[in-house]
Amino acid sequence: MNQKPNKPISILSIMDKSTENVTVIAGVINDILKNYQDKRQDYVELFNLANGYDFTKPTNKIPLQVYIDMCDWIENKLGKFNLIRIGRNIGESTYEMMLTKKLIVGKPTPLDTMNALIITAQQGVQDPKKRGWEIVSHTDKSILMRKTQNFNAVLQIGLLDALIRKTGVSGVRVDLNSEVRIGAEYDQYLISWL
pLDDT band at 6 (very low <50, low <70, confident <90, very high): very low
Residue 4 covered by a domain? no
Is 12 inside any structural domain?
Answer: no
Is 5 within the bounds of a domain?
no
CA 47, CA 37: separation in Å to the nearest integer? 9
Confidence of residue 13 (pLDDT cuts 50, 70, 90): low
Q: Can you give the CATH number for the domain in which 127 is found? A: 3.90.1520.10
User: What radius of gyration, in Å, describes the C-alpha atoms of the chain?
Assistant: 18
Residue 67: which domain range? Answer: 19-192
Residue 165 CA to residue 172 CA, distance in Å, equals 7
Q: Do 185 and 15 contact (CB within 8 A), yes or no?
A: yes
For residue 11, pLDDT over 70 is answered with no
Q: Could you tell me which residue, 87 or 56, shows the higher pLDDT?
A: 87
What pLDDT shows up at residue 12?
Answer: 43
Confidence of residue 5 (pLDDT cuts 50, 70, 90): very low
- Answer yes or no: is 2 within a domain: no
Average pLDDT over residues 182-192: 95
180 within a domain of the structure (yes/no): yes
- The count of structural domains within the chain is 1
> Is residue 40, in this structure, part of any structural domain at all?
yes
d(CA 99, CA 91): 12
Q: For residues 140 and 170, give the distance between their C-alpha atoms in angstroms, rounded to a whole number.
A: 13
Residue 161 inside a domain? The answer is yes
* pLDDT tens, position by position, 51-69: 999 988 999 999 999 999 9
Indicate whether 1 belongs to any domain: no
Give me the mean pLDDT over the 185-194 stretch.
96
Average pLDDT, whole number, for the chain?
91
Q: pLDDT tens, 127-172? A: 999 999 999 999 999 999 999 998 999 999 999 999 999 999 999 9
pLDDT at 17: 83
Q: What is the pLDDT of residue 15?
A: 77
